[in-house]
Structures are given as C-alpha cells and as structure tokens.
Amino acid sequence: MNQKNNALSRLIAEQGIVTAPGVYDGISARLGEEAGFSALYASGGAIARSTGVPDIGLLTLTEVVDRVRQIVAATSLPVIADADTGFGNEVNVKRTVELFANAGVSAFHLEDQEFPKRCGHLDGKSLVSVDEMCKKVSVASKYAGEVTVIARTDAIAVTGFDDALDRARAYVDAGADMLFVEAPQTIGQIEDIAKQAPGPKLINMFYSGKTPLVPTEDLKAMGYQLIIIPSDLQRAAVTAMREVLQVIRRDGNSGAIADGMMTFQEREQLVRTKEFLNP
C-alpha cells in the first residue's frame, strides 16, 4: 500500500494476504475476533439487511457510520468499512471520509456506481463517469490520513472487463491505495485483474455470488492482498434463527435444539458482562 502505516497495512506486510469476514454489529465483530481472524469487514450490505432493507443505498451516511462505530468499539482488530458511493459527490465524500476515519476504521472502499447504488452482485447497476469517480478518490485520498483508501469499480457488469481495468488504473492515478474490481465472473478474469491492475488488490469471495470461489493460497499467489467475505456470516445466522424459530413455534420452547445454541453463560462471556459489573 502507498506508504500507509495503519494496522491493516502492517498485517498485509506480515501475512501477505488477509481474510476479513463480513460483520454487521458488535456481537458478530466479537465472534470474528474470537474465531481468530486478524481483520474484519464492516459489510454495507449486511448492515443494510440487518435493518430489514435490501442493499440498494437506502441507509443514510450517519446510520451506516453509527453501526460501523459500534463494530470498531467491539473489537481490537482493524476494520475495513464499506463507504458505498461516498453518499454523494466529491463534496459529500470529504465528510464521509472524516466520519469513517473518526469512527476508527483502518480502511474503507468507495465505488463508482451512481447513487443510489446496488449490491455488487445484483443486475441493473449504472456507473458515474471516470472523471467523477477520480474526483471522489482524490478527495478521499486527501482527507483519509493513515486510513487506506480502496477504490472499487463495478464496471465489469456494466461496461465490460476492459473498461473495468481502465477505470482501475485511473483510480490508482487519482490516489487510491488499493483496488477492488467487483464481481469477476471467471477464474481467467480473476487472474487478469491480478496481472493487469496496478498496486494492491482486494477481492470479494462469498458463496453463491457471481465470482467463482478460489482458495486463499491461490489468490495470494496471483497477487491479491485482501479478501472480504461480506454476507456468509449473516446468511448463516439467518438460517440458524429460522431453525430455532420453527422449534419454538412447534414446541413452545427451544429445548429440542439446545445443542445448537450457546448457553446463557457463554453469551454473557462473549459480551463481557463481568468486565462491566466488576470494573
């Protein structure tokens, strides 16, 4: 990364590649740290869906930052945040960057979709011009300080693979520290991004999306430095909640599925109740 000295940059320098699972609240962040990960991804899509709405740009900047602040407070790990489109033009980006930096993130990514955006693996996306996105990246770089600026392009699904690479190069020239070319659809595209896009690169790896799953060591060998897995944790949680709800509706309690639940004591340990009651 371009001379950044935050916790995420140091991790990548030490490990070569870092995997950050997607979290969306304080307790999922705590679980990610407990599981032994070295960084976390504050997934904008998962945050949106946790409020009961889709990932199509419905939440406001302050709603997202409030949740990101809770995530950062719940963990000692570096957090990569999803800053969507910057919530407006380059004027809005300045405030967006300042709020995310004040929340304590180590990195954030901005994307080149028109506002309101869509989940990167939904159809029907549209893009801002290269010039407009470069202005956003330049402003973000100016005000980010030691926070890593990741520029994301959604061009593969809109204007094609070659344009995605051209945009990626332009965003690096505008000041991006890392690139995120969203939703490659083949192993060949994943390899070509690694070879042809300049500088450090992030890749999105989640089950059932448009991008084929590739083992971490293979991605590292290709030249990727950061992997995010935005929605898998939330989808697993939703599945588990449905199962428990079915048992409760059938039996009036959750006893039949108790082996699949943490105990009361385990939950209180996770949220560190004793630390609060015995400061």
Mind telling me the catalytic residues?
Answer: 41, 55, 82, 84, 109, 111, 119, 152, 182, 204
Question: What 8-state DSSP symbol labels residue 203?
Answer: E
Contact (CB, 8 A) for 12 and 150: no
- What phi, psi does 138 have (nearest 5°)? -60, -45
Query: At 114, which amino acid appears?
Result: E
CB atoms within 10 A of CB 223: 15
> What gap in Å lies between CA 277 and CA 279, rounded to an integer?
6
Q: Is 108 exposed, middle or buried (0-12, 13-18, 19+ CB in 10 A)?
A: buried
Which string of DSSP letters, residue by residue, matches 174-198?
Answer: TT-SEEEE----SHHHHHHHHHHS-
**Secondary element (H or E) of residue 266:** helix 264-270
Pure H helices in 197-231? 216-222
Pure H helices in 161-263? 161-173, 187-196, 216-222, 232-251
Query: At 38, which amino acid appears?
Result: S
CB atoms within 10 A of CB 102: 10
Q: Which residue reads 């969203």 in tokens? A: 182
